[in-house]
A and B are shown apart, each in its own frame.
Chain A
Amino acid sequence: MIKFKLYFDKDAETAWLNEMCAQGWAMQSFFAGLYFFEKCEPGKYLYQVDFREKFFRVTEEYRELMNDMGVTIIQNWGYWVILRKDAKDGAFELYTDAESQIEHYTKIRNMLKAVTILELICFFIEVMAACAGNAFALPFSGVILAIVIAMLNATVKTNEAIDRLKEQQSGIPAAKKRNISMLMAIGLLMNSCALIMQDSISGYIKLTVQIIAIVFMLVGLWQTCRKKA
């Protein structure tokens, strides 16, 4: 069985892979959003998703240690590694203390931030091309915008996971710290900057800045509502 899914949240992905396995489908490989499953005894395996700093490569040491721990590397895709262990060998957790969990999520957040910035630059270029009359640029910028939104969301979620862990460590609830997402404030600021400089910058740049500002504000608003609920 093949399923197409795009995950921007590794915890949701892990939960889904384990859910599929519980139903008798063991994930065997992954390619660009396509998950390949094979029939298995329900609940035979436990899955985990790890993040590595090297792109499409795991070190020999990592491979050896995982092997030693009874963990199989199912797929290495980008920065992600999908791992699996026999359920009969007991629970399967990758990171078991707050220190290493925080480190893990911080690495993920930094990557998400970098990719978001990169995508924003791409978006900028695409909108400029669209304004210059390139027919392909418009749908393309729509796709990039969707990726930006997903990335922003994932970054916010990862930040929340880090906050929760830090809360556990310090014993001080940080949930009331801020209820309004920073993204909303940044969006508002960007929009007002674009408005102030209206005459001194070209229309294309202003348009792109405003679209990005609106996206930031919308994602920020969404996250704020989610937090309140």
Chain B
Amino acid sequence: MAELDTPLTEAFYYILLALRNPNHGYGITQEVEEITNGRVVLGAGTLYGALQTLEKRGWITVYSQDTQSRKKKEYMITDLGKNAFEKELARLNELVRNGKMMGGKNND
């Protein structure tokens, strides 16, 4: 599989984060909205496209599929996805660390 060099979009980043535990479509949007205090809202189309792409990349996988009763497909992050996420987190940490050089009121 080709290496992906571009930074993750917010949607991809938060979807991966929400899939650290098995989760279904609506659950993902709920969690993302909650942890970002309603700043990141995922539309159904955006979520569907992202899930398709992530699954094709092998970053997430279908965790369970209850075909009998209520059909709620759950996804979960894979090791490959975790690696990609870690890499992105390291990149973001570097950005924040270096960003402190600017010295602003958001510095802790």
Contacts and interface: CB of A to CB of B under 8 A. Distances in A.
Contact of B11 (A61, A64, A71, A96): A96
A64 B44 CA distance: 11
Interface stretch (B46-54, B78-86, B88-96): B46-54
B52 to A, nearest CB: 8
Contacts of A104: 45
Contacts of B25: 64-65, 68-69
- Place the interface of chain B in its size category: 20 to 34
A174 to B, nearest CB: 21
A68 B43 CA distance: 12
B100 interface: no
Contacts of B9: 97, 99
Q: Which of B46, B52, B72 has the most CB of A within 10 A?
A: B46
A67 interface: yes
A68 B11 contact: no
A100 B44 contact: no
B71 interface: yes
Interface of B: 9-11, 24-26, 29, 41-52, 71-73
Interface of A: 50, 61-62, 64-71, 83, 91, 93-97, 99-100, 103-104
